[in-house]
Amino acid sequence: MNDKWINDLEQKMKGHTEVGPEGLWEDLEQKLFAQEKGKVIPLYADTVEQINKAKLVNRRNWVKRLLAIAACIIAVTTIGIQFLKQEGELLPNINVIKEGERKNIVDSKEHIEETKELQGDEKAIVSNYTQELKDNDLNKPKGIGTNENKVDRAVVESLNIGQELVLNPIINTDKIEELSIALIQDKHTDVLKEGQIKEKLVTQIEPQKRKGLSLGLLSSNMTSNSSQAQTGYASMNGAVRFDSKNPNIEIANTALAEIYTANLDKEVNTKINHKQPLRFGLSVSYALGDKWGLNSGITYTKLSSDLNSGSLDNKIMMNQTLHYIGIPVQVNYNIWQKGNFSAYVNGGALVEKAISGTLTTKYKIGDKIKEEPKENINTKSIQASVNMSVGMEYKLGKGVGLFVEPGVRYYFDDNSSISTIYKEKPFNFNAQIGLRYSIPTKK
């Protein structure tokens, strides 16, 4: 469009004047130069009045906005589509303790050393439970079948993350005092790929204009499971506690013993299936100008994992459910806006803590199923993650916009003994699609 006419217009209006308001000078004279005795004329009376008027209007606007926000909290929910990248490398089986012969029973200490030698490069996450096999009277040749090796004893040492892990428990039907099974989790275990992608609607309230407060409800389902498989027995988060403090020891011991015996000549393995996390939340956004914005809020996430350890007919079945509460903090930057399209980048962190969790254990022996009473999981660790995403939004009108937000999230290790999908897949690539409602603000 030619803007010459604009310049011409400006030239035309240059020097234009309009008659001043009637009596204005007289009023000014009064205010600035009045010297009547004893009369104090407040010079800024009018300004003050004007400001007060403005404040009233402001307050009214604020109340209106707050009501609108409250109404929106009730009305809106969001769901997200996320695609998790699968890691799925097939890896060699974990090398378990090589013992050579079935029959050798050795001192536990020696074993530990050996196993340390063997497990050179494999990483493992371990439990904090340390038990030492004290029983030295193991004469019976018990072994747990693995793909390659026959093993005889149980190892027992709890190590910190990063060190090597162990084991297979020894069966001793006479005296099982303390056993510990440590979980071997290795990035290089067999991972079963299962990706399911579900599509859902997302709505989220976010600020679009400056100085706006807006609220959003969101829920997201990361939709793919994480599964692991490995040979041998293993437990979800480390040692199944067989110390005297465990009230379930009786059930556990006898059941385990039965399972082991039944599986003597069979192949055993452990499959852990981490189900997709379910996340709901409330978010609040504050816009700082037209480009930048800050988000925060509260999220609730539920993580659920299943473990099957043993063979098809004789196995340990565990289910672990964790409930997390988290607080996200995000920074938003609008990079571009043209017509109804806008693009932005978004980055931030989420800090969550598991506030409660339960673990159920069942033992399947042939047709029988024995169940342990539910246990509570307590962890004090804080789970932190960071994320980065880019988004594109198309305004459909009346404050509603459709957006796509692909991004990456990385979950930091929380140094806890609990095994979750966050630990298995700390880095995931996901995408959200949804609808967003923005509360308009004054200009």
Look up residue 387 and give its two tokens. Answer: 């994320």
CA atoms lying within 13 Å on the CB side of residue 253: 16
**Residues near 204 by Cβ (< 8 Å), separated by ≥ 6?**
76, 78, 216, 217, 218, 283, 403, 434, 435, 436, 437
34 binds another protein (CB under 8 A): no
Site string for another protein, 193-212 (x = CB under 8 A): -----------------xx-
Question: x/- site string to another protein, residues 394 to 413, per CB under 8 A?
Answer: ---xx---------------
271: closest CA among 320, 302, 308? 308
Min separation Cβ 402 and another protein, Å: 16
Q: Of the two residues 2 and 376, which places its CB atom closer to another protein in the complex?
A: 2
Lay out the site mask for another protein across 80-119 (x = CB under 8 A, - = otherwise).
----------------------------------------
**Under the criterion CB under 8 A, does residue 30 sit at the interface with another protein?**
no
- Residues touching another protein, count (CB under 8 A): 53
| Polymer length of the chain | 443
We find the least distance from the C-beta atom of residue 214 to another protein, in angstroms, to be 14
Contact call for residues 320 and 304 (beta carbons, < 8 A): yes
Nearer to another protein, 347 or 440 (CB): 440
**Touching another protein, residues 328-347 (CB under 8 A):** 334, 336-338, 340
**In 45-126, which ranges are continuous DSSP H helix?**
45-75, 108-118
Told to check if 392 binds another protein by CB under 8 A, we report no
* 36 lies in the site for another protein, by CB under 8 A: no
> What tokens appear for 375 in the block?
């246990």
Other Cβ atoms within 10 Å of 165 Cβ, number: 28
- Provide the Cα torsion 188, 194, 195, 198; round to 10°: -140
Residue 439 half-sphere exposure, CB side, CA atoms within 13 Å? 26
- Residues 53-82, mask of contacts with another protein (x by CB under 8 A): xx--xx--x--x------------------
Q: In whole angstroms, how close is the CB of 333 to another protein at the nearest point?
A: 11
Rounded Cα distance, 188 and 227, in Å: 12
- DSSP for residue 224: B
Taking the complex as a whole, the smallest distance from the CB of residue 435 to another protein amounts, in Å, to: 17
Q: Is the CB of 406 or the CB of 440 nearer to another protein?
A: 440
**Could you say which residues in the range 267-296 bind another protein, by CB under 8 A?**
289-291
For another protein, which residue of 97, 215, 254, 443 counts as binding (CB under 8 A)? 443
- 8 Å CB contact between 68 and 439: yes
CA distance 379 to 386: 21
Which parts of this chain interact with another protein (CB under 8 A)?
Answer: 1-6, 8-10, 12-13, 16-21, 24-25, 27-29, 31-33, 43-44, 46-47, 50-51, 53-54, 57-58, 61, 64, 210-211, 289-291, 334, 336-338, 340, 397-398, 440-443
